[in-house]
Structure formats: structure tokens, C-alpha cells
Amino acid sequence: MFRCSLHLRHYCHQVSQSTIFALSSGQGKCGVAVIRVSGPSAGNALKHLTGMKELPKPRYALLKKLKHPDRGEVLDRGLVLWFPSPHSFTGEDSCEFQIHGGLAVINGVLNALSAIPTLRLASPGEFTKRAFYNGKLDLTQAEGLADLLSAETELQRKQAFLQTEGHLKNVYMRWKNVLVSALANLEAYIDFHETEVLDADLVNGTMNSVLKLSEDIRKHLGNGVRGECLRNGVKTVLIGETNVGKSSLANVLCSRPLSIVTPIHGTTRDVLEATLDIGGYPVVLNDTAGLRSQSADVIEQEGMIRTLRACEDANLILLVADCTNYLSWQKASQSSNFLDFLAFYARKLDICDILFNEDNTTKKPFIVIGNKVDLVEECDLVHLQSFQNLISCNSKKGIDFLTSSIIDQLKQICGEPTEEHPSMNQVRHRECLTLCLRHLESFLQDRQSFDDNTVFMAEKLRKALRQLDKLTGIFSTEQLLSVIFNQFCIGK
């Protein structure tokens, strides 16, 4: 498939003439290291280091001594593999050296390769960029590969792997085929409707297919927030009054002392962040300054401003209250209605606008947590049953149940990617699809005056089609490609 726009042909020519090499396994001391070579001189590099006269059988490992091409010094003994074009990761002639992972051994082999005049060290992401240019993967698959390399949780891995397998590409290509068919119908109508008898359903069928496509893209965009949260991490914020145990809970969830804990009100002054894996979902946990109506401390005041800002940006809020304070409120208000307490507590913290819409529906997911249950008398426990979660950070009581509650919310926020419904997870995808949808909606708005606007409507379909081509990289710019592939490490 031709992926390069005209101004990229020079780059493609340069790629075809150069041979690159790099360490493709992880940095640092390890048992086995893999060095990859790709390009027209890959076969010569294999011969130079092994002394072989003929290239080995493709994709079969051979144990060989590796020698410096100038000095003849034996550097190591390792496995070598030969991947002739086009059956390699990059689509070019490629070879791999699997050597011992000591730093001196790795540097010795890299120096030996650099001594070959036709070889040069690869730049970040250059192997993957070549695979893209040679049609081995599209741009969404390349982005999925970058995500796979940086995945830290099981579901991040699953989402990224599905993308590398082309499931997201398949969705976009299916949409492209719909657009190409619709545009072909419009072109036929423009060219022949005055001289030929066309199928009466041609126009109606085209309109219906574009309408269905716009609905699919709109739904995909709506679900895209899930994929973005799964890729970037669910921003989860602990919020509550001062000294209710937010920092203690943060330390329990992190299994390490993230925050300083003291009996002094207002100990936490800033937003403290930690990245967690909870049930396979990535969570960016924020411990925040406690909220109270008055504070003479300028630093604490700034901390509370940052707390509210973090809550506004959060995907999930963990609202922490002190069980003993709740019992005091019950006695003072003579109310056992938990919703009344929730409204009171939200007003006290000044977060009503963050948690609720004007009609009192929930604006964003939150979990109400009653902490310090270990300080409550046995006879008063019955008054705490309305809390979603009751915990004690001291005794760890209720933490497992709270973790399950958090996982349930994470499932709702992130979903779980499947082959049938892969998730959009890049801001770039959102921008392209938003513009594509805008062109399709403009197209549909003109359908009432179809005969007068057919040419302009066809142009709107072309613009929508171009946005889909940008997604897969069929239409792309070198600037965009540099941004994407520079995210990779050298060697990939």
C-alpha cells in the first residue's frame, strides 16, 4: 500500500539506501541481549561478524562466534538469525545477534557494527517507522506498539495488543470503505444523472450509509474517553475534610508512605500523586489538602485551591468522611437520611458543583468512604449502614471491599477492550474523527437541497475521507510521523 505523500518520497529513498542497527532489548546488564540490523547491507553485516560466506537459512538460529570485522578479535559467541525481505519486522533485509547481556559485550558488538561503513546507529523509533513505510503496519498499529512497550497493567497491555493486531485499523478501514462507496455513488450521479437512468435507490442508499456512519463515529467518540483513561490512567482524587484520614488511606492503597500523616489538621498542603495498578486498571491516585472553611495559612489556602482543581479534572473521586463526625451530624440534625448528609458534606467542602448537576444527578463517578470505623462504639455501627464503604486505615478493616468497589467503578470508566469493539485512545484519533464527523454532519445538512449542492456535498465527503486517511497514515506529514515515532526508544 502506498503510504507516502509526495513530499515524503525523498525520505523513503533515503530509507531504502541506508542500513541501521541498535540494541533492541532492554538497557542494562541482562542474561541475553538482542541487536537488530535492518537495511540492504544487513546480510553483509551478518557475514562480516560471523565470517560466513553464504547467508544462513532464513529464520533458523545458528550458534556462531562474533568477530570484529577489522581486528578479527572474537567478541562473543551467540545466536544469529537472518530475515530476508519482505519477511521481517521492517519489511527489509534484517538480521539479529542474540548475545550475552554484559555491557562490555554489547558495546563490543555495537562498535564492531559501527566499523562497517554502510551501517549507522538507528534513531528512536526508526525500525518501526520503516515497518510503517513498507506497509508492515499502519499508523494505529505503530501507536499500539508504542503503548504496548509502555504498558504497566494487564488491561493496558490488552488494549495495546489489540491495536497492534490491527483491530482498530479494521474499524477505520471499514468506515473508509463506506465513505469511498458513498463518494463513488455521488460521482456517478454528478457525471451521469442527466444522460443515464440511475437506480432510484442510489441517492437514498448513499444518504442512509453516511447517516449510519456518522452515528457509528459519534458513538465511537463517546466511548473513546474509556480508551484514553485506560491508556493514560484513571485520575482518582481523595477528597474530604482535614484529618479524616485521606493521607492514611493513600498510604494503604499505595502500600508505601506516600503522604505524611499527623494528628495536626492541614498536614497535607499539596497534591501528591502515585501511579497504581488496581485490578489491572491503571490509577493515578492524588492525595490532596483537606478542605475547611477557614485557614490563616497562605500555603494551606493554596493547597485547598489545588484540591478543588484536581477534583474538577478527576475521573473518579474518593470522598472520605469521618464516621464519628457523621454520627455527630446525625444527632445534631436529627436526620438519618444519608442523602441529606451527603448534601451537607458536599456544601461544607464546596464541591456540590463538582459532584452534581443542577437536577441533582451525579456529574462524575464518586465513592463515599466512612473512615475511622474502629473508633465507633459497637452500638452505633447500625447508624453507619448507609455508607457505601466503611474502613479503618489503622486496622485495614474494609480495605478489600473498598478495593472491589474501586474496581467496579474502574470497569465502568474504562470498560474492557475487545476485538469487536477496540477503544480509541489517542488525542490524535479524537481530533481526526471529530473533524470527520463535522464534515459528515455538514454533508447531511445539505441533503434537502441535494440537486443544487451535489458537487459541494461530494467535496465534504472527500474531506471526511482525508481525516480517516490521516488516522491510518495513508495521508500523513513528516512532522506528524516524527512526533509519533520519536516516542519509541532506540532499537524499536
For 49-104, what is each residue's pLDDT tens digit? 999 999 999 999 999 999 999 988 999 999 999 999 999 999 999 999 999 999 99
C-alpha distances in angstroms, 40 versus 47, 91, 281, 361? 13, 11, 43, 63
CB 477 within 8 A of CB 428: no
The 10s digit of each residue's pLDDT in 236-281 is 999 999 999 999 999 999 999 888 888 888 778 889 999 999 999 9
Residue bearing cell 545458528: 62
pLDDT of residue 15: 52
Which residues, other chains included, contact 291 with Cβ-Cβ below 8 Å and sequence gap of 6+?
239, 240, 241, 242, 304, 307, 308, 348, 349, 350, 351
Buried b (16+ CB within 10 A) or exposed e, 319-334: bbbbbbbbbebbeeee
| Mean pLDDT rounded to a whole number for the chain | 88
Closest residue by Cα to residue 325 from 290, 359, 357: 290
Q: Domain 233-293+300-414: what homologous superfamily?
A: P-loop containing nucleotide triphosphate hydrolases (3.40.50.300)
pLDDT of residue 7: 41
Is the previous residue joined to 257 through a cis bond, with omega within 30 degrees of 0? no
**Structural domain boundaries in the chain:** 19-138, 164-230+426-472, 233-293+300-414
Torsion of CA 241, 243, 246, 251, to 10 degrees: 170
CB 159 within 8 A of CB 230: yes
pLDDT of residue 45: 96
pLDDT of residue 29: 80
The listed CATH number (3.40.50.1370, 1.20.120.430, 1.10.579.10, 3.30.200.20) that belongs to domain 164-230+426-472: 1.20.120.430
Buried b (16+ CB within 10 A) or exposed e, 165-177: ebbbbebbbebbe
Query: DSSP E strands: which ranges in 150-270?
Result: 234-240
CATH domain 19-138 topology:
Gyrase A; domain 2 (3.30.1360)
The 10s digit of each residue's pLDDT in 282-301 is 999 999 998 988 787 888 88
pLDDT of residue 13: 46
Domains 164-230+426-472 and 233-293+300-414 fall in the same CATH topology: no
Residue bearing cell 542474561: 31
Buried b (16+ CB within 10 A) or exposed e, 115-140: ebeebbebebbbbbbbbbbbebbbbb
* pTM (2 d.p.): 0.80
Which regions of the chain are under pLDDT 50? Answer: 1-11, 13, 195, 197
